[in-house]
């Protein structure tokens, strides 16, 4: 039985007794904050306090919360069917979603495999690359080349292409497939290109080209691995190498897709197309879990022409109609508005608003790209101390490691970004200087 009359203290006590939160310890006293409702860009705590959500619920709620058009689309679909298996059946929400994704994605991505989370979308991408070469009898091409400081998900295949030393999954390194890593890109997004900075990647690629199935990367923005922004020229150089030596290119656009960097997809900053691309997070506007892996006609046709003649993956909730309806509504909302100018407004306000943080002792760097603002500290934060400070300030920011960052909802107005930035400044100043 669900008790809806729990006090906030009782709810927190039960949570600590029963619930295991992401990347947390059941022995930790790190606070959690009950949320009872959400509207627009605000989260409402069960004690009545309202906070601006500077995180878009881990980068997904780009249209904010309780959006009437999103709600209506889900309610209409719910009245028809919430779910039906996708094996041997199909339905309009899924077909329409795939049609839109192919239309708006980088050129040459012609087929869509729908899944239920970003990690699974990356598992699918890796399996596609392996099956692609298996179908050609090139079974020796079974390793992946990727950057250090990368993050691609929490399942075992995805973990194998996350940073093996400093990443969140280092304790599993002995149980993961051993892939190949090179230093993270050092050339900043707007920095003049230096060919020597690509030398290590190129030499490593060429030394392993006979066994490489694919290069795996987060285009332009390394997200959870450090919120780093790098030069689009890396993508152009990698695309050329992959084309020359018959290696696939996998783009993880789960965090960057759907406008976050100022382009619909981050690959567009370099005007290249990957062979395989994973999307998720903002795909449904944060309403329901859904992800997708797109691939080229060549990849799909090759897989299906070889042994065993089918792609070997099939999630139970693949193509969930309710989630697909949410995704269709979210994409329609995004594409029918001048989202580019809105992202530019957010970018300009983040640049201006976070600039003051450079003068706080203990701040290493401040950087902004599109609707992403990052304040990198010199040392890792104490979450048990800093998180309540943000809540008290009325701005929901969820730091990790040395990074205090914001990815606000796209519907934020100028005054909202000002409030987010001033909240970050106030908290960091109090946290670092007291």
Check if the beta carbon of residue 94 is closer than 8 Å to that of residue 273: no
Record the tokens describing residue 109, joined without a space. 């991505």
Nearest to 181 by CA among 211, 150, 146, 214: 146
Residues 390, 423: Cα–Cα separation, whole Å: 7
Residues with Cβ within 8 Å of residue 434, at least 6 apart in sequence? none
Tokens 């919120």, located at residue: 227
CA distance 73 to 70: 5
Structure token digits, residue 276:
């395989």
Give all strands (DSSP E) within 212-290, no chain letters.
212-217, 221-222, 228-229, 248-252, 276-279
- 335: exposed, middle or buried (Cβ count in 10 Å: 0-12, 13-18, 19+): middle
User: Which of the 8 DSSP states describes residue 99?
Assistant: H
Which residues, 6+ apart, have CB-to-CB distance to 28 below 8 Å? Answer: 384
Is residue 350 reached through a cis peptide bond, with omega within 30 degrees of 0 on the bond before it? no
Note whether 125 and 292 are within 8 A (CB): no
Catalytic positions: 23, 151, 252, 281
Pairwise CA distance, residues 189 & 369, whole Å: 9
Distance CA 323, CA 94 (A): 9
**Integer Cα distance of 186 and 209 in angstroms:** 23
């Amino acid at each position: 039985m669900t008790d809806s009359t729990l006090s906030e203290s009782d709810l927190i006590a039960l949570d600590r007794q029963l619930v295991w939160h992401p990347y947390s310890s059941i022995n930790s006293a790190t606070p959690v904050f009950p949320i009872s409702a959400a509207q627009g860009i605000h989260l409402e705590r069960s004690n009545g306090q309202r906070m601006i959500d500077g995180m878009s619920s881990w980068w997904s709620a780009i249209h904010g919360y309780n959006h009437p058009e999103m709600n209506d689309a889900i309610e209409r679909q719910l009245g028809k069917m919430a779910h039906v298996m996708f094996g041997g059946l199909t339905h309009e929400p899924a077909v329409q979603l795939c049609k839109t994704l192919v239309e708006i994605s980088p050129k040459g991505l012609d087929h869509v495999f729908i899944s239920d989370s970003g990690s699974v979308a990356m598992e699918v991408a890796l399996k596609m690359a392996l099956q692609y070469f298996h179908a050609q009898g090139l079974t020796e091409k079974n390793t992946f080349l990727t950057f250090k400081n990368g993050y691609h998900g929490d399942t075992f295949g995805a973990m194998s292409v996350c940073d093996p030393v400093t990443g969140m999954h280092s304790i599993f390194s002995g149980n993961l497939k051993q892939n190949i890593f090179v230093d993270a890109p050092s050339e900043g997004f707007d920095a003049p290109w230096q060919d020597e900075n690509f030398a290590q990647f190129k030499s490593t690629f060429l030394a392993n080209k006979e066994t490489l199935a694919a290069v795996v990367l987060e285009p332009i923005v390394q997200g959870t691995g450090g919120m780093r922004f790098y030069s689009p020229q890396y993508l152009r150089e990698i695309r050329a190498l992959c084309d020359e030596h018959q290696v696939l290119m996998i783009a993880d656009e789960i965090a960057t897709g759907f406008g976050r960097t100022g382009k619909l997809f981050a690959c567009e900053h370099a005007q290249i197309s990957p062979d395989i691309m994973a999307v998720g997070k903002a795909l449904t506007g944060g309403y329901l879990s859904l992800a997708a892996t797109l691939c080229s006609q060549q990849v799909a046709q090759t897989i299906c022409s070889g042994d065993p003649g089918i792609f070997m993956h099939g999630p139970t909730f693949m193509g969930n109609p309710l989630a697909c309806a949410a995704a269709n509504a979210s994409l329609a909302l995004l594409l029918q508005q001048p989202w580019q100018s809105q992202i530019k407004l957010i970018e300009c306000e983040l640049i201006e608003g976070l600039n003051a943080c450079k003068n706080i002792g203990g701040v290493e760097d401040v950087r902004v790209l599109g609707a992403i603002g990052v304040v990198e500290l010199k040392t890792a934060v104490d979450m048990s101390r800093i998180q309540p400070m943000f809540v008290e300030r009325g701005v929901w920011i969820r730091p990790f490691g040395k990074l205090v960052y914001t990815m606000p909802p796209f519907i934020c107005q100028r005054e909202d970004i000002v409030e987010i930035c001033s909240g970050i400044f106030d908290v960091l100043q109090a946290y670092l200087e007291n």
